[in-house]
Structure 1
Amino acid sequence: MEGDCLACQAGVPTTRENYQYGMMLHFPNTGTGTTSYGSSHVSSDAIGCDSEHITLKMNRRHLRPRPIASSKQKMEKEKIRKTRRPFTAGFKFSVIKIAKSKGNRAAGREFGVDESIIRRWRANEELLQALPRNKKANRGKKCQHPAIEQDLVKWIRSLRVSGRDVTTMQIRMKALDLAKSREVNSFLASPNWCFRFMQRHKLSIPLMTTVGQKQPEDWEEKMVSFRGNVAKLVDNKSLSRSKVGNMDEVPLTFDASSYRATTESGDTSVKVPVTTGNENNRFTVVLSCLGDGTKLPPMVIFRRVTMPREKLPKGIVVQCNKKGWMTEELMLEWANRVWRGRPGACFSPRGALILDSMSAHTAPGVKDHFSKTLKTDLVIIPSGLTCKLQPLEGGVNHLFRTQIRTEWEKCMQEGIHSFTTSGKMCTATFADVCQWVLTAWGKVTRETIVNSFRKTVFSANIEVTESEDDVDSDDSGCDPEAPAMSLFHSESVESDFDGFSESDL
C-alpha cells in the first residue's frame, strides 16, 4: 500500500512538526490527485500508507477536510468580516418577519445577515418599534432615572389636559423637585437633559394653533340638535335669510406683527419686526352679518375710559370701556345701534340672532331686551362648538384678520411716522384703526358670508325661504328705517338727539 499513497510518492520529509501541524491527508492513489490544505505533509516512512495512517490524521481536529478557498474568496471573506454594515429599522422588521415564518437561518441566507444578529433583533423587537423606520442605530445616552421621567410625563399630560401651557423651564424645575423627593442629589436637569427627555418621550413645543374650547364628546349630537332647532325656528316664524343674523367679537391689537420672519438658513436669532411697541394694546371689533350676505356696520371697543377726541370715519360705531371687551351694557348698545338698524327691521322686526355662549350674550337683561323690545329670538351655540356652528368663524373672521394685518403693514411701510422724544415710533391713531376696520370689512365679499352660513347653519336638509327683498337687497340699498334712525345714530356731536324738552311737549 506504500505505492498507493500520493504523499509517499511525493517524498515529503518526515518530521514531528509535519506530523502535528501538517495539512496533508493521506488517501489511496485513485487517480484523482491529492487534497492539499497546506505546505506540510506527513511522509509514509513514519506512519505508513494503510488505513491506520488515515485514521490518525482524521482524528486530528485541525486536520479535518475543509473546502479549498481561492485567494480572492479569502480576501472577500475577510473584508466582510471587517466591514460593519448599518441596517435601518424597517429592514430589521422585514428580516424579523421572514425569520418568524421561515426561521433565523433561512432569513439570514435570504438577506445575507448572520443568524446571531437576527436573534438579537428579535430579542429587541419592542425597542425597534419605537424607532423611526429610517433610523439605523439606537444611539444616545440612556435614561438614568426612568422613574423620575415617568412621573414628569404624567405631570405634563395633566397640565395639558387642564389647558395650561408647559415650558422647558417648568419641566426642568419640576424634574429637580421630583429628584429631590426621591433623594437623587446627582440629578442636575440640564438643558441637554431636557432636550433628550423630550426626544425620548416624543414631546415638542409647537406654536399655538388655537385658543378655543375643547369640543365635548357628544359634539356631533349637539350639532344635529342645534341645526334642528334653527330649522324649526325658521319654519315656525317663516324667516328668510335676511332675518337670520350672527354677531361675534374679534380681539385685535394696534400692532399686528408676526412671530415668524423669513431669514437665511443658519441664523441663530430672528429679530422682531419693527413695531410701535403696542403689541399688548388691545381693542375689540364686533362684526355682524345676515344670512343673505348683508354686512352690518362694525363696532370697535377701545380699552380706555373716555371717547377719542379726534374725528372718526363714518360707518363705524365706537365705544370704550376699561377692559376693551364686550360687556352687558355694550351688548345693549350694539343691539340698539346696529341690530335695530339692520335693513328691513323697521317694518318687519321679527328675526333670529346666532350668538356664542359668552356671559354678556346670555345675561337675563340682554335676553329680555332682544325678545320683548327687538322681537328677536336668540340662538345660543353650545359651548365648545363655536368653530363649527358660528358663521363668522367659518371663514369670515380669518379673512378679516388677514386684511387688518395687510392694512397695518401698508401703514408701517408707506405711512409717514412720527416719533416720541425717547425715539419710539408713535402708535396708530384711533381714526387710522377705524379706517383699517372699515377697509378690511369692506373686502369681505357677500359670497364668503353666504357660504359660511351654508357651511355652519343652513345645512343641506334645512330650507330657508328667500323673499324678493333677499335677492334684490344690497348693502347700499334703501333702508326705510334709515331716516328715522339717523337722528339717533348720527356721528356728529351737533346733531345728536338728547331727548325732548318741556317746550316740545
Structure 2
Amino acid sequence: RRIRRWLRRSRALARERPRGGRYLSAAAEEELAQWVLTQREQQLPVNEETLFQKATKIGRSLEGGFKISYEWAVSFMLRHRLGAQARRGVTPPRKRRAQGDAGAFIEFVQRQVRTQRLPLAMIAAVDELSLFLDAEALAGGRRGESALQTVGNGEPWCELVLTVSADGGVLPALVVSKGHLPSRAAAAVPDSVLLESKENGCDDDELMELWAARVWRKHAECRGASRGMLVLDCHRAHLSEEVLAVLSAAGTLPAVIPAGCSSRIQPLDVCVKRSLKNFLQKKWRERAAEPPDPDSSALLQLLLAWLGEALEILGNCPELIRKSFLLANVLPAPGGDPASPRRNGDEQEELIAAMERRLEIAGSGESSPEFPENDADAAEEADPEILHRLFEGESEAESFYGFEEADLELMEI
C-alpha cells in the first residue's frame, strides 16, 4: 500500500516538476540516462553512489544547484524506463539522441542485408557475459545463494562470449577462467563450450582475439561464405586490430551498435542473455542449498555443465533466436512493414516468456515482472509483492535498482 501511494505521488511530481533549480533539464536527464545504459552494457555496477556522483557532476551548471534525493532517483528511473525489471527493451527509447543513433544503425544493417544478400547463418550477434564470485557470500552459508553475480568492478571469475546467428543457430560459447580442471573433468566439458584456462586471466582485447580465432574463424570456414555481418557493441576490445583482421579475412562486416542502444538493437539482449543469466542464477541457488564445496575447480565444472545444458536448450529453439533478430530490427520485417513499437514490446514479452518456459525458469522467481509503463491504473492494482520486486536487485552492486525499507519509510514523511 505504501509503495502504491508513493508511486502515485512520484508520478504526480514528475508531471508537475519545475523546469529549473532543483531538477535536471530534459537534456541533462537524457545525458544521464545514456550514461546508465552504457554502464549496464559494460556490466559495470550502477549504484546510489555512482548515480548520484554522475548526476551531481551534470547538475553543477544548474542555477541554484541540484538537490539529490532517492525520490528523484526512482522517478528518473521510471521516466526513462530504466527499471531493473523492464522487459520491453525493443521499444523506442525516449532519449532523442538514442532514437537517432538507433535509427541510423537499423537503416545501415538492413541495407547491408538487402544489398549484399547475406546468408542468415553469416549474420550474427556476439557479446560477453562476465560472472563474478562474492567470496564473503560464498563462505556465508545461506548467503551463498547470492554469491554468483553478473555485475562487478573487480576481476571476473569467468568470462563467457556468446554468439548466435540469424538462422537460429547457437555457436560454441567461449569460456575463459583462471581456474583449471582436472584432466578427467576437462574431457567432460560439453562440445558446445570452448574452455580456455588462463592463470592470470586475460584482458578484454585478448578475450575477443581468442573468440575471433576459435569461434568466428572456424564458423566462417565451415560455412564457406565469402560475406557476413557481425552485430556487436562499441566496446574498444571489439575493434582491436587483431579482431578486425580476423573479421576482414572472413569477409565479415562489423556492425557496431551505438553506445546506450544495445537493449534495443542487440539481438542477444532481446531475450537470450537475460534468460541465460536467470538460468545460471537459478542453478546456483539450487546448488547453494547443498553442502558447500570450496574447490574452485568443482564450481567451474558445475558452471560448464549448466552452460552446456542451457546452450543445448537454446540450440533446440531456433525460432526464438530468429525472432530476436527480427525484434532487434537487424533483419527487415516480413513484408517490409515494421510493426508498431507497442506490438514489438508485446512480442518481446512473449518471446522472453517462451524462452523461460524452455529453460524451466518461468515462475521460479528468476523471471521478472514488467512494470506497466503506460497504464497508471494497472500500477495501482498491482500485487504489492510485484511492486516490491520492481525495486529489487540481485546484489549489493545493483542497489540502485532497489532501496532499503528505511528509505521507503522516509519517503512517506
Question: Normalising TM by the smaller chain, what interval?
Answer: 0.5 to 0.7
The answer for the alignment partner of 1:239 in structure 2 is: 118
Residue by residue over 1:77-110, the C-alpha shift from the partner in whole angstroms, topping out at 9 and shown as x without a partner, is xxxxxxxxxxxxxxxxxxxxxxxxxxxxxxxxxx
Q: Tell me the amino acid that sits aligned with residue 172 of structure 2.
A: P
Q: Tell me the amino acid that sits aligned with residue 247 of structure 1.
A: V
Correspondent of 1:337 among 190, 202, 214: 214
The answer for the alignment partner of 1:448 in structure 2 is: 320
Rounded Cα–Cα distance in structure 2 between residues aligned with 1:248 and 1:364: 18
Correspondent of 1:298 among 155, 173, 177: 173
Alpha-carbon offset, residue 439 of structure 1: 1.1
Correspondence 1:111-130 to 2 at 5 A: none
| Conservation of the 8 A alpha-carbon contact between 1:291 and 1:449 | yes
Matched, 1:439 2:309: yes
| Conservation of the 8 A alpha-carbon contact between 1:387 and 1:393 | yes
Structure 2 vs 1, CA of residues 227 and 283 (structure 1 numbering), >3 Å: closer, same or farther?
same
Rounded Cα–Cα distance in structure 2 between residues aligned with 1:451 and 1:257: 40
The answer for the alignment partner of 2:143 in structure 1 is: 273
Q: Tell me the amino acid that sits aligned with residue 313 of structure 2.
A: K
Alpha-carbon offset, residue 362 of structure 1: 1.2
Structure 2 vs 1, CA of residues 198 and 360 (structure 1 numbering), >3 Å: closer, same or farther?
closer
Q: Tell me the amino acid that sits aligned with residue 433 of structure 1.
A: L
Structure 2 vs 1, CA of residues 226 and 208 (structure 1 numbering), >3 Å: closer, same or farther?
closer
Alpha-carbon offset, residue 284 of structure 1: 1.8
Q: Would you say how many aligned residue pairs link Structure 1 and Structure 2?
A: 272
SS at match of 2:127: strand
Identify unmatched segments of 5+ residues in structure 2. 1-7, 13-19, 37-45, 57-68, 337-413
Rounded Cα–Cα distance in structure 1 between residues aligned with 2:118 and 2:73: 53
Q: Tell me the amino acid that sits aligned with residue 204 of structure 2.
A: T
Matched, 1:357 2:238: no
Correspondence 1:302-451 to 2 at 5 A: 302=177, 304=178, 307-310=180-183, 311-312=185-186, 313-315=189-191, 316-321=193-198, 327-342=204-219, 345-371=222-248, 373-413=249-289, 417-418=292-293, 428-444=298-314, 445-451=317-323
Structure 2 vs 1, CA of residues 409 and 282 (structure 1 numbering), >3 Å: closer, same or farther?
same
Rounded Cα–Cα distance in structure 2 between residues aligned with 1:256 and 1:343: 40
SS at match of 2:158: strand
SS at match of 1:442: helix
The answer for the alignment partner of 1:460 in structure 2 is: 333
Q: Percent identity?
A: 21
Rounded Cα–Cα distance in structure 2 between residues aligned with 1:392 and 1:130: 36
SS at match of 2:111: helix
| Conservation of the 8 A alpha-carbon contact between 2:176 and 2:198 | yes
Alpha-carbon offset, residue 437 of structure 1: 1.1
Alpha-carbon offset, residue 216 of structure 1: 5.4
| Conservation of the 8 A alpha-carbon contact between 2:181 and 2:297 | no
Residue by residue over 1:356-375, the C-alpha shift from the partner in whole angstroms, topping out at 9 and shown as x without a partner, is 1011001233213311x222
| Conservation of the 8 A alpha-carbon contact between 1:276 and 1:427 | no
* Alpha-carbon RMSD: 4.7
Residue by residue over 1:263-314, the C-alpha shift from the partner in whole angstroms, topping out at 9 and shown as x without a partner, is xxxxxxxx96344966676322111011010010111122x2x754453213
| Conservation of the 8 A alpha-carbon contact between 1:283 and 1:325 | no
SS at match of 2:236: coil
Rounded Cα–Cα distance in structure 2 between residues aligned with 1:210 and 1:130: 21
Alpha-carbon offset, residue 459 of structure 1: 3.4
Alpha-carbon offset, residue 433 of structure 1: 1.3
TM-score by length of 1: 0.44
SS at match of 1:248: strand
Alpha-carbon offset, residue 210 of structure 1: 8.3
| Conservation of the 8 A alpha-carbon contact between 1:231 and 1:462 | no
| Conservation of the 8 A alpha-carbon contact between 2:113 and 2:331 | no
SS at match of 1:251: strand
Alpha-carbon offset, residue 326 of structure 1: 5.8
Rounded Cα–Cα distance in structure 2 between residues aligned with 1:349 and 1:436: 35
RCO (CA 8 Å, sep 6+): is it higher in 1 or 2? 2
SS at match of 2:222: coil
Rounded Cα–Cα distance in structure 1 between residues aligned with 2:136 and 2:277: 12
Residue by residue over 1:58-93, the C-alpha shift from the partner in whole angstroms, topping out at 9 and shown as x without a partner, is xxxxxxxxxxxxxxxxxxxxxxxxxxxxxxxxxxxx
Structure 2 vs 1, CA of residues 430 and 237 (structure 1 numbering), >3 Å: closer, same or farther?
same
SS at match of 1:352: strand
| Conservation of the 8 A alpha-carbon contact between 1:391 and 1:452 | yes
Q: Tell me the amino acid that sits aligned with residue 288 of structure 1.
A: T
Q: Tell me the amino acid that sits aligned with residue 107 of structure 2.
A: G
Q: Tell me the amino acid that sits aligned with residue 355 of structure 1.
A: L
| Conservation of the 8 A alpha-carbon contact between 1:357 and 1:380 | yes
Correspondence 1:44-193 to 2 at 5 A: 165-166=47-48
Rounded Cα–Cα distance in structure 2 between residues aligned with 1:341 and 1:324: 24
The answer for the alignment partner of 2:157 in structure 1 is: 282
Rounded Cα–Cα distance in structure 2 between residues aligned with 1:256 and 1:439: 26
Alpha-carbon offset, residue 250 of structure 1: 1.3
Alpha-carbon offset, residue 221 of structure 1: 2.6
Residue by residue over 1:146-165, the C-alpha shift from the partner in whole angstroms, topping out at 9 and shown as x without a partner, is xxxx99888xx999777674
Structure (1/2) with the larger helix percentage: 2
Alpha-carbon offset, residue 223 of structure 1: 2.4
Alpha-carbon offset, residue 204 of structure 1: 8.1
SS at match of 1:295: coil
- Which of the pair has more CA radius of gyration? 1
Rounded Cα–Cα distance in structure 2 between residues aligned with 1:359 and 1:434: 27
TM-score by length of 2: 0.53
Alpha-carbon offset, residue 418 of structure 1: 4.0
| Conservation of the 8 A alpha-carbon contact between 1:255 and 1:275 | no
Identify unmatched segments of 5+ residues in structure 1. 1-128, 134-149, 175-196, 259-270, 421-425, 464-505
Residue by residue over 1:197-234, the C-alpha shift from the partner in whole angstroms, topping out at 9 and shown as x without a partner, is 867x797899972899x985322232232122112222
Rounded Cα–Cα distance in structure 1 between residues aligned with 2:245 and 2:182: 34
